[in-house]
Chain A
Amino acid sequence: MPISEPDRPVPEALLDQQRGAGRGKLKVFLGASPGVGKTFAMLEEARVRQRAGRDVVVALVETHGRSETAGLLASLEQLPRRTIDYRGQTLQEMDIDALLARRPQLALIDEFAHTNAPGSRHPKRWQDVLEVLDAGIDVTTTLNIQHVESLNDVVARITGVRVQETVPDEVLQRADEIELIDLPPEELIGRLREGKVYVPQQVGRALENFFTKGNLTALRELALRTAASHVDADMLTYMQANAVKGPWPTQERLLVCINEAPVARALVRAGKRMADRAKIPWIVATVVTPRHEALGEEARAATLEALRLAETLGAEPVTLHSESDAASEVLAFARARNVTRIVIGRPRRRWPFGYLREPVSDRILDRATDFEVTVVAQHARIERRRILAAAELPRWRQWVPTLAETFAAMTASTIIAWPLAPYVPLASLAVIYLVAVSVVAFRRGLAAALAASVLGFLTYNFFFTTPYYSFAVEQDEAVVALLVFLVSAVFTGTLASRLKAQVDSMRAAQRRTETLYAFARKIASARKADDVLWAAAAHIAATLNCRSLILMPDASGTLEQVQGHPAIDELDAKSEGAARWAFEKNEPAGAGTTTLPTSEWLFVPLATASAPLGVIGVQFRERGSGLDPETKRLLLAVEDQVAVALERFTLAADLEDSRVKAEGEKLRAALLNSVSHDLRTPLVTVIGAVTGIAEGDEALKPADRRELAATALDEARRLDRYVQNLLGMTRLGHGALEPKRAAIDLREIVGRVRGDLQRVIAGHTLAVDMPRDLAPILADPVLIGQAVANVIENAAKYAPAGTSIGVAAANTGETVTLTISDEGPGIPSADREKVFDLFYRVSKGDGAPAGTGLGLAIVRGLVEAHGGTVTASAGPAGRGTAIAIVLPRADEVVVPDEAK
C-alpha cells in the first residue's frame, strides 16, 4: 500500500484565519424574535468579562424601559451618544469616533440591523461595527433572525411582514461566535402578555399576526438552523485549515441569471440559499443586450439593485455583454467558470410581444443540456407593483414631437396614396402606409411604431375603403385587407424599432470604444504625469457627463486636488471624508455606495498593484445615478490606463534618477581625483621652495634664492587659477551665474586678458588680428574675459614655446566670432566635443602638462550662459587647434553729436 503524502492545509482557509488575527472578534446574540432576552444575555456576559479584567464599554444599548436591563447596564461604563438633528427631530446615535478614540477591548453595540440617522458616516449600524472591528476592538451585538438578508423573503412569507432593516449574510458569516438565545414560543407569548416585551414599530401594526405560536415556531426553527449552519461553516474552515480529509465538494459554482424583471431580487435570495446549502461559491450574472440598453432608467436601476444585493449576500456580480444572443453568452460564461448549476426565473409572457420571440430562459433551458437548471417561480408581487408604480411614463415633451412626426408621416402617405387610388389595387396602397410606419418606428421607437400602425389603420380605413370618409367597413375583402395591414404594420414597426435599438446601442458602443481609444492614445503620448491625469479627468467628465476630480496625497499625506474637470474650489467635509475613506480602504465611497452616501461625490480608488496613488471623484449632474456596471467598467478602464501610464513615468523617472546618480558618482570620482592631484602638485612645489628659502639661510646663493621664489610664485599662481576655475564651475553648476550684459568691445577684453596673462604667454608670440570695425558684443565683460583667458592659457600650455598663438575676430552676421588657434599637437577629431566635458583631458599620464580638465568646460559654460557657442577644430594650416567662440553682437547705438 503506498504511503500517502501528508495532507496539506488549504491556503485560503489559513488566510481566512490569519485575517482574523489583527481584527476584533465579533459575537452575535441571535434571537428568533424581539423579547427573547438577547440584550439581557449580552449585558450579563459583559459583566462576567468585566469581572475577569476586560476593558468593557457599552457603546450603545437600548433598555426599552426594562428595569432588569437598566440595572445590569448601570454597572458598566457607557459611552455618551451623539445627537443628530434631522428635520426638526433629535435623533440619538452611537458615537463611533468617540468609541474608536476610547479603544476599549470589548464594545457592546445593540441592534446589529439598525439603520442610522441620515448624515451619519454609514447608513447601517453593521457597517459601523465592521469599522470598529477593523480597529481591533471586539464587539458583541444582538440580532433578530428576520433581519438576516437572505431570510428576508422567507420571513416575509411566514409572517406577512417585510422587514426593511437587514444585515447581509456575508457580515453574519464573519461573526466569530453566534450565540442563540432561545425561548420557547409559549414562554415568549407569556412575557408579551405581561408587557415585558418591547414591540418595535414595524411589528406593531401586525402584532396579532406576528406573535402567533405558528410564526414564532417557524422563526425559532430558522434561527436554530442559522446558528447550526454557522457551526457547520466553522467546522468546515477548521477541517480545511487543519487538512482534515473529508468529502470535499469539487469547486463547483452556482450561476444565477437575472434581468430587469422584478423577480430578480427573489432569484438572488433563492440562489443564496441554494449556494449556502450546497456550500459552493455563486455568481449572479446579467446580460446587457441592445434591448436592455433601450430600456428605461428604472428598469436598469432594478437590475443594478439586484446585483448590489447579490454582492452584499456574498455573490460575485458579473455583467456580460452580448449583441444578440444572451443565452449563448450565459452558457459560454458558465462553462468557462466551471458552473454546474444555473438558476433562472420563470419567463414572463406579456401580451402581445412576449410571444413574438423565444424568451432567454427558454433558450437556456433548451441548450443547457450539461447543466442542472433550476427555474424559480415568481413570488414577487409586492415588488412588481412597486416597480410598475415607479416606472414613469415618457415625458410629454418627448411625446409631442413623436406624435407630430407620426401624424406628418400618415398625412404624407395619404397625400401620396390619394392620386394613385384610382389606378392601383387597394392592397398596394397599404404598402405606402407600411413604409411610413417603418420610418416612424426606426426614428422614434416602439411606442411610436404602434401609434403609427393604429393611425395608419384608421386613415387607410377612412380614406380608401368603402364607404369612403367613414370608419365603417362594407366589404369582407376590405376587412381582411385592413386586418392584414394592421398585423403587418405592428410587425414591421416592432422590427424597425428593434433595429433602431440595435443601431443605437452599437453606436453607443462604438462611441465608447472610440473615446477610450482616443484616451489611450492621448495618455500614450503624454509627456508628464500631469498630462495623463488631465486627460483622465477630461475623459471621465466627457464620457459620463459628470464633473470629475483626481485627488492625490501631497507630501504630508493630505489628499489634494491635482486635476479637476472643471477644477473646483474646495470639497465639503463630507466629500473629503468619502475621498479619504476610498483612498485608505481602497474601496469606492460616497454617492451611490454604502459609505457616506449623502456626499455629493462618488470616489473610487486609483491604485497600481504596488501602491495606492489617489482617488478619482465623480459628481453626476443628476443625483442618484451611481456606480452602475457601465460606469464601473469605464472607471476601471480609465483607472487601469492611468495606473499603467503613471507607473511608466515612475519607472522612467527611476531610470533617469539612477542614470543621473551614476553620472554624479563618476563626476565625484573625477573631482576627487582632480582635487587630490591638481591641488596638491602646486602645493608640493610651493612648500618645497619656500622651506628651501626659509631654512637655506646664508648657504643659499642669491640667484638660487630668486629661482626658488620664482618657482613658488608660478605654482602659487597656478593654484590660484585652479581654485578660481573650481569656483567658476560650482557657480555655473548651481545656475548662480547671471551674466550682467552690456555692449562691450571684444578688443578691450583681449587687451585686458593679455595683460593678466603676461607671465603665462611670455614664451609665445600673440598674433592679434581684430579689425577696427569689429561690432560690439552683448556680454558680461568679466565672465567673457575669463573664458578668453582660459582658452589662451590652454593654448600656451599645450603649444610648444616659441610658437605663435593666433587671436582673430570677425563679424559673422548677427554674431561675432573669436578664434584662438595654436600650433600645438592638436585634438583628434573624435575628442573635439569631449574636450568641453568636465575633467576630460586628451593626453593622460605623468608626461601630460599639468592641467585640470576644467578650463574648457568652464569656457563652454560661460559662453553658453551668454547664448553663444564654442567649438574646437583643427588649426588654420591643418595643424594645432582652433577654438571658435561665437557670441551675439550688441545693437548699434547712435551717439548724438552733442555727446561726441
Chain B
Amino acid sequence: MTGAAETHRVLVIEDEAPIRRFLAIALGSAGFAMEEAARGREGIEKAATAAPDVVVLDLGLPDMDGKAVVAAIREWSQVPILILSVRDGEAEKIAALDAGADDYVTKPFATGELLARLRALVRSRRRADAEPPAVAIGDLSVDLARRLVTVGGREVKLTRKEYDVLALLARFQGRLVTHRQLLSTVWGPAHLDDTHYLRIAVGHIRDKLGDDAADPRFILTEPGVGYRLA
C-alpha cells in the first residue's frame, strides 16, 4: 500500500465554521483530505463532484433536512455517510439511519472517536467488494466463509438466526447496524416491528459467547437504535 492510496477524501457537510475549522486540522493530521460544504445543497453537489470516500453530515443544516441530504446522495451513490447529531435528536437520527446513513456520532464528540468511526466506515467500504473471510475481536473469531464461530478456539453452537445476526454484525465490524437492517435481513421485511426477536437472539448470542450485556466485550448496544460489533 502506498501513502497516496491511503489518503481518503472526507466531505464534511456542516454549517458551523468553528467545527469545520477544527475538523480540518484533526482530519488533516490523521491523513484525511477534507472537502467542506456549509449548506445541504452545496454538500450534495460536492458529493457528486469531489468523489469523497466518506461523508460527514450534520443533521441540523439551515437550508434542508439532513434526511433529505442522505436520500439525495443515496439516489446515485453508496458512499458511507456518518451522521453528526445532537443528543436529543434521537428520532431524527434513527430516521437518517433508516434513510441510508451508515453510522452516527453524538455531538459533542471526541476527535478520536470520530476518527475511529471514519476508519471503520472506509474499511468496510473496501470490504464490500471482497467480503473478508473471517473477523476477529479479541478471542472471538467469526469465519464467514465456513460459518464457524469460536471463542478462545472453542466452537460455539448458534442457531441459524443467531449466526445470521452475528455474521451481519461481523460483516460491518465497528459500524452501527440498526434494528431495521438486522430484522429485515435476518427475519425478512415482514418482521420490522418484532424487535423482541432481535433482543432475545442477541441475549442468547451473548450468553453463548460468554459476553455480559452489562459489561460487553463483543456486542455493543446502541439503545433504541441498533448494535455494533466492537
Contacts and interface: CB of A to CB of B under 8 A. Distances in A.
A and B from one complex: yes
Interface of A: 716, 720, 724, 727, 731, 740, 742-745, 747-752, 754-755, 768, 770, 772, 776, 780-782, 785, 807, 893, 895, 899-900
Nearest to A780: B224
A744 B214 contact: no
A893 B196 contact: yes
Given A768-B214, A782-B224, 15 more contacts: A740-B91, A743-B195, A745-B199, A748-B213, A748-B214, A749-B223, A750-B213, A750-B214, A751-B220, A752-B220, A752-B221, A776-B199, A780-B224, A782-B90, A900-B161
Given A745-B213, A754-B214, A895 B223 contact: no
A748 B90 CA distance: 18
Nearest to B188: A899
Q: Which 3 A-B pairs have the closest CB atoms?
A: A781-B223, A747-B213, A748-B221
Interface string B170-196: 000000000000000001000100111
Nearest to B186: A899
Nearest to A743: B196
A596 B72 CA distance: 72
B18 interface: no
B197 A899 contact: yes
B175 to A, nearest CB: 16
A684 B197 CA distance: 50
Contacts of B213: 745, 747-748, 750-751
Contact of A900 (B87, B201, B215, B216): B201
Contacts, number: 72
B108 interface: yes
Given A745-B213, A781-B224, A720 B207 contact: no
A747 B212 CA distance: 8
Interface of B: 87-88, 90-91, 108, 159, 161-162, 187, 191, 194-197, 199-201, 203, 207, 212-216, 220-224
B195 A768 contact: no
A503 to B, nearest CB: 76
Given A727-B88, A782-B224, A742 B195 contact: yes
Contacts of B212: 747, 751, 768
Contacts of A895: 196-197, 200
Contacts of A720: 108
A170 B55 CA distance: 93
Contacts of A748: 213-214, 221, 223
Contacts of A782: 90, 223-224
Give the one of B90, B108, B162, B214 with max A CB within 10 A.
B214
A743 B195 CA distance: 8
Chain B at the A interface: mostly helix, strand, loop or mixed?
mixed
13 contacts: A720-B108, A724-B87, A742-B195, A749-B221, A750-B213, A751-B213, A751-B215, A751-B216, A751-B220, A754-B214, A772-B207, A782-B223, A782-B224
Nearest to A807: B214
Contact of B224 (A740, A899, A900): A740
Nearest to B211: A751
A773 B201 CA distance: 14
Contacts of B90: 740, 782
Contacts of B214: 747-748, 750-751, 754, 768, 770, 807
Contact of A742 (B87, B200, B207, B224): B224
A895 B203 CA distance: 13
Give the one of B88, B162, B196, B223 with max A CB within 10 A.
B223
A899 B161 contact: yes
Contacts of B187: 899
B200 to A, nearest CB: 5
A543 B222 CA distance: 68
A471 B100 CA distance: 118
Contacts of B199: 743-745, 776
Contacts of A900: 159, 161-162, 201
A755 B203 contact: no
Nearest to B179: A742
A754 B215 CA distance: 7
Given A752-B222, A782-B224, A899-B187, A745 B203 contact: yes
Contacts of B196: 743, 776, 893, 895
Contacts of A893: 196
Contacts of A727: 88
Contacts of B88: 727, 731
Contacts of B161: 899-900
A899 B221 contact: no
A740 B223 CA distance: 12
A521 B162 CA distance: 69
Contacts of B201: 900
Nearest to A754: B215
Contacts of A899: 161, 187, 191, 194, 197
Contact of B223 (A744, A754, A768, A776): A744
Give the one of A750, A751, A807, A900 with max B CB within 10 A.
A751
Contacts of A745: 199, 203, 213
B93 to A, nearest CB: 10
Contacts of A772: 207
A770 B200 CA distance: 17
A716 B162 CA distance: 41
Contacts of B221: 748-749, 751-752
A302 B50 CA distance: 103
